[in-house]
Structure 1
Amino acid sequence: MDRLFVRLVLYLVRFAGAVAGVWGVAYAVNGATQAGGAITVRVLQLPQATDRLGLSGVRLPGGVSLADGELPLQVWGSTAAEQVVSRSDVLLGGLCALVAAFLLGRLLTSVFEGEPYRRGNAARVAWLAVLVFVSGAGQALPGVAVASVLDRTGLGGTFGPAPGLSWVPFAGAAFLLALAVALRARRRASPAP
């Protein structure tokens, strides 16, 4: 394969990882500077709170509905911890992308050199699975900030945190883990170099 193309791909992967890592940290730090200001959180109205809000008789026009009952709630007087934790999914995802970019760089180098079963590649893929899992699990962290905001404002009996988890990262992590096991088995089956 053309060496220039390989170097360009490796450079782009590492550059994207570095940008994601810096962006995640900068976004969380920016959140800390917003303490005392407004914080917007996604909440679900609890079924038992319909009468308290006076929404029981509200009719929405045709074709208009709440997305799974989710509402954005803007609350003033946020704390630095609430702001940072509400952005922690981006922070964790960015840091995971940074580490993954360097793992991918080593993995892609071996593939481009025609040695996809090189020693350590199975471990790199397994670590990629761990990073995808951690990043996916990090989607639940803003719910901690939502719970804190609702507790601070006394709205905990009216609203609850909107779910933030998706099954896609966990399925991706399972696929990568299966790939790591297959790479390890193939490496053991092949003669040692």
Structure 2
Amino acid sequence: MRAVHPAARRLAAVLAVVLVVAGVVATAVGLVRWLEPLTDLEGGVSVPIQVTASDGVGADLQLLVEMEPYDDVRVGGIPTGGLPHTDSRTYPLGVVTVYAPDASTSEKLLSRADAMLRGIALLVAALALRPVLRAVAADRPFRRHDGRRVQVAALCVVVGGYAAPLLPWLASASVLTRLDDPHGLSATAVHHLEVFVVAALVVLVGAVVSAGTQEPRKVSRA
């Protein structure tokens, strides 16, 4: 491995510590947020909901009208995507937050499970990358398992960036089953596919690291 620039070595040394600290903090914050709905005195839960129709009026105003038949159900957030019409470029209309009473324990835990899973993914990725960053800081050759550690970090990117945001939508689907005729609302999850591009780039870095640990083959002379 070629000599690493001193500035890069110092940055790697700092990141080796900062990422682990950030992972610990994110996990602790995620744990608090995950358990927070269990302390709701009203026994309700807030979940994301897709707005798919508004009957020709502002989606935020129509939701307030459509929710009147449901006791103690509140709507917050501002829908995005433009004015409500059938244009495919603005369909669905956006995502709002719906607060529903009488939530089950599973609905409460799933509604904030994304924060917990993101924190764990960040901590695992930080711990996996720590030896790699310390190798860069010490300007020493990569070891055999450093490439696998980078691949673990790539998996954490997918888990935290793609899988985690899907969990609250499981709670959304459960909440909608308890509402009578939830017109214009859907529990269709938002998929963050760009995360896979980032993960692919991380895997590519892992392949480069693995290649750097391989000894050159000896050519036998005939």
**TM-score between both structures, scaled by the size of structure 1:** 0.79
| Letter of the 1:139 counterpart | P
Instruction: Find out whether 1:83 has 2:108 as its counterpart.
Output: yes
- Secondary structure of the corresponding residue to residue 153 of structure 1: coil
Deviation at 1:144, TM superposition (A): 0.3
Other-structure match for 2:22 = 16
Unmatched segments (≥5 aa) in structure 1: 48-54
Normalized per residue, which structure has more helix?
1
- Whole-angstrom distance in 2 between the partners of 1:5 and 1:187: 22
- Secondary structure of the corresponding residue to residue 41 of structure 1: strand
| Letter of the 1:21 counterpart | T
**TM-score between both structures, scaled by the size of structure 2:** 0.70
Deviations 1:66-113 (A, max 9, x none): 413123322122222111101111111101111112122211101111
Instruction: Find out whether 1:151 has 2:157 as its counterpart.
Output: no
Sequence identity of aligned pairs in percent?
Answer: 25
Runs of 4+ in 1 over 6 A off after TM superposition: 2-6
- Whole-angstrom distance in 1 between the partners of 2:169 and 2:205: 32
Between Structure 1 and Structure 2, how many residues are aligned?
181
Unmatched segments (≥5 aa) in structure 2: 1-5, 60-77, 82-92, 218-222
- Whole-angstrom distance in 2 between the partners of 1:66 and 1:5: 41
| Letter of the 2:130 counterpart | G
RMSD of aligned C-alpha atoms? 2.9
- Whole-angstrom distance in 1 between the partners of 2:58 and 2:148: 56
- Whole-angstrom distance in 1 between the partners of 2:14 and 2:132: 15
The counterpart of 1:73, out of the listed 98, 122, 137, is 98
Instruction: Find out whether 1:142 has 2:155 as its counterpart.
Output: no
Instruction: Find out whether 1:180 has 2:213 as its counterpart.
Output: no
The counterpart of 2:187, out of the listed 161, 164, 169, is 161
Higher CA-based Rg: 2
Other-structure match for 1:30 = 36
